[in-house]
Structure 1
């Protein structure tokens, strides 16, 4: 009974410790709710319009233009990019594509989703989706794994007739993330997230450190770099269960302390 009570108390303490962390992780992927959604897009990586996760951005342009947006993604998140292109009433067959790049401008493959779609002649719109792999806190230098930092969305048409070039279109994009948790945890973390210009710093009056970054947007609560995950909780639970199993096994096998049989002749 003592072992059962100790196990219950330990599980309760670990559950209370894990609850705030889970709440913080889920809140990091939610929009802040202040300000207005961007109504324009950049034309290159350097001019990409910054958007928050969970908030829809819009832009007007022409077929043949490149639309660029950027958003932050932290370790343990699995980003999903949704894009919708509203086409003019009169047009021929068009093929649109959405690509996602990380902070090093490496194109990230879509785990699943319709990254490229063809709109039939006269179609009102075309929907695109790209689900990335889970962002890792650390990776080998030669690997192409998604890492914490800024991610770029590029939306453009990749196939159309010359008669459709320059027709007006309206684009909508949205970036969301699912928190994967300890299943994606690794033993390591980046010193800095992959944000353009984050390594460029300047000092003023000796005490005020200011980071000259090209991208100011970051997850709510800052960059975690994967220092915490629910894997710590399950590791602690496993250690407690192993200790209790050892204590219980010893209590069952130690006996009464006296030999069960008296040797002959004693």
Structure 2
């Protein structure tokens, strides 16, 4: 009887814990930042989103659309943007759209590959753009424009069109994903703070700091060198001794 009561109490307690965990998990999920549904019109008003999220915005043809996202050392970000164009009947000619990516110091970063600008015909319904940056480095010379950890800005706009098409409504989206390159592109040194235009209190905590996979290779090399030195010493010491009579 006591054993039955004990099992019944344990099951009831487990049920209470599971029922309480549901609202807590839901509350924790609500704290996660959501992708923005509008874009900024300048660097200062850029709408922030996280890698893996898809930011969207409704705008007018001719507007400058700005978003921002964080990137850490060892990552090779790829930025993709798309624009759903107005109905073909409302347009008067071809359009050229372009995305540019800037670092936290507002230096334009070159694209390794991807279609950074594209011209579409007057009857096209959509334009897709992409830009894959160079691998973000942990440290660089002051005069270099290497991509460094921090905030990156995406600017999307139309660069060529018929004047009669200015102001037509469009729907745009932007997203960023990264391939982890790691120690293959790591260099010695690190930034004191990520490159970002925000204050120190607004810095992200995603920066990996000083650790990279190069430390593993460095440690393994040191161990092998030490073992080789000990082995060589033992061999030469044994070979140099005269034979005892």
Match of 1:82 in 2: 80
Match of 1:162 in 2: 163
Distance (Å, rounded) in 1 between the aligned partners of 2:241 and 2:63: 89
SS of structure 2 residue aligned to 1:245? helix
Match of 2:208 in 1: 224
Displacement after TM superposition at 1:195 (Å): 1.6
- The normalised TM-score by structure 2 is 0.79
Match of 1:198 in 2: 199
Displacement after TM superposition at 1:222 (Å): 3.0
- The normalised TM-score by structure 1 is 0.73
Aligned length: 213
Distance (Å, rounded) in 1 between the aligned partners of 2:239 and 2:144: 60
What is the root-mean-square deviation of aligned Cα atoms in Å?
2.3
Distance (Å, rounded) in 1 between the aligned partners of 2:115 and 2:32: 31
Relative distance call for 1:197 and 1:245 in structure 2 (3 A) is: same
8 Å contact 2:139–2:189 — kept in the other structure? yes
Match of 2:225 in 1: 242
Q: Which runs of 5+ in 2 are unaligned?
A: 1-29
Please give the per-residue CA displacement for 1:32-75, whole angstroms capped at 9, x wherever unaligned.
99343211111111110000011111111111011100011112
Distance (Å, rounded) in 1 between the aligned partners of 2:129 and 2:94: 16
8 Å contact 1:149–1:194 — kept in the other structure? yes
Match of 1:131 in 2: 132
Please give the per-residue CA displacement for 1:209-236, whole angstroms capped at 9, x wherever unaligned.
xx3x4xx6x3xx53234x0101000011
Match of 2:35 among 34, 37, 41: 37
